[in-house]
Amino acid sequence: VRLDLATHRSAPLPQIIDHLHRVSDNLESQCLFYMMGERKGFAPAVALKQHWEGRGVEFSGLRLIDGSGLARAGMIRPLDLARINHLARRGVHGERFRQSLSVYLDGAVRSKLGAMSGVKTDVGFLTTSDGRELTYCLMANGLDTAVNFWPLREKLLRAVR
């Protein structure tokens, strides 16, 4: 038997996504992960996998453990993450999604960065000098502490631009 004791309305989803992209709130990410599963009636990982497979993403080696990306056992290929972002960008709320991302390289890059000890990720969109928009995903795992990923990332993105 379910008994609702109280109801609390959250901010609209676009505002939640804006905040999430701006501050990388892992608790917020985890809550959204659980809510997606609840809404579909499946475990969150199953709901997300089915959603993106239904849009053509063919995962290989995907292991969704949590919604924040903090679980060391979680795995997704850079190609799959790039495909998800490409599809999100091309979807009905694509421009809204793009606008929620952080801006880099004088406005040529909109992306979401992720970092933990020895792990760095950057997924987003690069506008080339001739105006084309490219979707990309850069991932590094097991980085030595002497390696500074971010200047290398910037150098690569400038070269592609």
42 and 120 belong to one structural domain: no
pLDDT-derived band at 1 (thresholds 50, 70, 90) equals: confident
**62 and 114 co-located in one domain:** no
Whether residue 72 is found in the same domain as residue 88: no
Specify if 3 maps to a domain.
no
Q: How far is 51 from 58, CA to CA, in rounded Å?
A: 11
Contact 78, 139 (CB under 8 A): yes
pLDDT digits (tens, 9 = 90+) for 27-82: 999 999 999 999 999 999 999 999 999 999 999 999 999 999 889 899 999 999 99
CA atoms within 13 A on the CB side of 54: 6
For range 137-146, the mean pLDDT: 93
Question: One-letter amino acid identity for 19?
Answer: H
Contacts with 99 (C-beta within 8 Å, 6 or more apart), sequence order: 110
**Per-residue model confidence (pLDDT) at position 65:** 95
Instruction: Kindly report, residue by residue over 72-118, the tens digit of the pLDDT.
Output: 899 999 999 999 999 999 999 999 999 999 999 999 999 999 999 89
Spatial separation of the C-alpha atoms in residues 18 and 110, rounded to whole Å: 13
Please list, residue by residue across 46-66, b when 16 or more beta carbons sit within 10 angstroms of its beta carbon and e when fewer do: ebbbeebeeeebebeebebeb
Q: Which pLDDT value is given to residue 66?
A: 94
| Domains identified in the chain, total number | 2
**H helix or E strand, kind and range, residue 119:** strand 119-127
Is residue 131 scored above 90 in pLDDT?
A: yes
Angstrom distances, CA of residue 97 to CA of 19, 41, 93, 151: 12, 25, 6, 26
Residues 20 and 83 in one domain: no
Note the pLDDT of residue 139: 96
106 and 28 in one domain? no
What integer pLDDT is reported at residue 2 of this predicted model? 84
Do residue 50 and residue 88 come from a single domain?
A: no
pLDDT (tens digit per residue) in 4-22: 999 999 899 999 999 999 9
**Residue 37 structural domain:** 12-76
pTM recorded for the entire structure: 0.90
Length of the chain: 161
